Amino acid sequence: MRLCLIDDHALFRIGLQELLERRGLHVVGSTGDASLGVELVTQEQPDVVLLDMRMPNTTGVKVLMELKSRELSMPIVMLTTSSEEQDLVSSLQGGARGYLLKDMEPDELLKALEDIVKGATIVAPSLTGILAKVVQGDQAPESDKEALFSSLTPREREILCHLAEGQSNKVIARNLGIADGTVKLHVKAILRKLDVHSRVEAAVIAVQNSLCKKEILD
């Protein structure tokens, strides 16, 4: 796996680079300068970008938007100390494929990066409650919950449950015996019907409303 690191905290950045390289990953670019980081990513085309949220004269979200404006296809992951609700929401809405915290265990970080490269969107487990609150707001009445999912087809409900387990499109396709492209179309339909911006938000809604437990009972 080839990575670029953009983080203005030199000690953390250097330590993270050494950790990743000891685990067999290849850091092809590392910098504390946001502008230089954008150029490094554009030039090196890594498999994944690790991006800090707080940097001098800019923010991680602004850097994220600049990278997205260049139509770069690799996943971009926010690696930060911030557990602020707005930072999390802005990052996911901006297209980040992960929102991870710097105090996570090394093995957890590596597993998250592997899953993200395979197509998953990962949010630090400690932030799931915050994300659920943002997505769901106040607890909805049971009738509203049923209405929320009523527009989903049985196949879409099934795929939503797989999303809630953090599975990528490829894994879902393999489990259900259908094409990757078919899963992608279903996921797009799910997001549209639930009026959310990301598969993580859809997964949180499913978990918070116990949809998948109901599906098992059905």
Please provide the distance, in angstroms rounded to a whole number, between the alpha carbons at the two ends of the chain.
41
Domain range for residue 102?
Answer: 2-132
CATH number (domain holding residue 95) = 3.40.50.2300
Give the span between the Cα atoms of 92 and 69, in whole angstroms: 15
pLDDT-flagged residues of the chain (< 50): 138-143, 214-218
The H-or-E segment that residue 34 falls in is: helix 34-44
CA nearest to 38, candidates 79, 78, 67: 67
Beta bridge pairs of residue 80: 101
Q: Are residues 146 and 200 in the same domain?
A: yes
Q: Are residues 123 and 194 in the same domain?
A: no
- Length of the chain (residues): 218
In the prediction, which pLDDT does 133 show? 63
Given a contact cutoff of 8 angstroms between Cβ atoms, the answer to whether 86 and 134 are in contact is no
Q: Are residues 93 and 165 in the same domain?
A: no
Q: Are residues 84 and 101 in the same domain?
A: yes
In the prediction, which pLDDT does 218 show? 42
Has this prediction a pTM greater than 0.75?
A: no
Given a contact cutoff of 8 angstroms between Cβ atoms, the answer to whether 212 and 149 are in contact is no
Q: Are residues 113 and 7 in the same domain?
A: yes
In the prediction, which pLDDT does 146 show? 60
Given a contact cutoff of 8 angstroms between Cβ atoms, the answer to whether 159 and 190 are in contact is yes
In the prediction, which pLDDT does 124 show? 83
Give the span between the Cα atoms of 145 and 161, in whole angstroms: 15
The H-or-E segment that residue 139 falls in is: none
Query: How far is residue 97 from each of residues 27, 76, 78, 91, measured CA to CA in Å?
Result: 19, 6, 8, 9
Give the span between the Cα atoms of 105 and 34, in whole angstroms: 26
